[in-house]
Amino acid sequence: MTVFAVLFTAVFAGALVWAEVTGSVALRWFKMLASTGFIAIALSVGAMSSSYGKIVLAALALSWLGDLLLTFTSRSAFLGGLVAFLLGHVAYSVAFGTLGVNPLVGAIAAVAVAIVAVFVWRWLAPHVGDMAAPVVAYVVVISVMVVLAFGAFGDGATWLIPLGATLFFISDLFVARNQFVAPDTVNRMWGLPLYYLAQVLLALSVSG
């Protein structure tokens, strides 16, 4: 079941990239099928059997909602998607925190991620206009999520967690570039595969 769910997600994520490049009207369907796939992965590896798994499942469900909202082009839909993903990152942060966080690894990660986050904000700031507050909030929340992911890894959690969190952060840079800086199909060609790989890794992290 897990292998099928991973392949299902990969196939429709690939179809989504193709739809983005070609402008296919099937884009929305491919996106939601791929996103349903990562929820199926989490369920197939036992997400409901632990507190950590249940919280990760909630994060994945919020991401699914964010994906749905971002299939629409209105400003309100974008803001709704931003909020859904922000809450998803909060859920991931809570999940990682339940695993325990190594203070030293967490502190080192916090310094490194804070430096990156400052550069990201300086890059985005001239372009976000009146959306500065929600964008800052999002950058802070996803940065905290990445820090806790590394902290949890330092306390013995699976490597899938920091790798998934890092890929999620990078994929969101392409989303931000596309939304605020330089809209281009290239952003989606890179960002979408990274995003779905990140979600698959985080979904798989609930096993055992």
Average pLDDT for residues 104-120, to the nearest whole number? 98
Q: How far is CA 188 from CA 97, 146, 195, in A?
A: 31, 22, 10
Domain ranges (residues) in the chain: 2-204
- Give this prediction's pTM: 0.95
Which residue has tokens 């991401």? 63
The pLDDT assigned to 88 comes to 97
| Residue 20: closest CA among 92, 78, 54, 70 | 70
Q: How far is CA 103 from CA 14, 73, 106, 107, 144, in A?
A: 39, 42, 5, 6, 14
Rounded to whole angstroms, the Cα distance separating 143 from 205 reads: 19
Average pLDDT for residues 146-171, to the nearest whole number? 97
How do residues 49-101 score in pLDDT, each as one tens digit? 999 999 999 999 999 999 999 888 888 998 899 999 999 999 999 999 999 99
Residue 15, pLDDT > 90, answer yes
The pLDDT assigned to 75 comes to 84
Which residue has tokens 């596309």? 178
Average pLDDT for residues 125-139, to the nearest whole number? 93
Residue 109, pLDDT > 90, answer yes
The pLDDT assigned to 28 comes to 84
Please indicate whether residue 125 or residue 208 has the higher confidence score (pLDDT): 125
Both tokens of 177, joined, read 């570039």
The pLDDT assigned to 208 comes to 63
Residue 20, pLDDT > 90, answer no
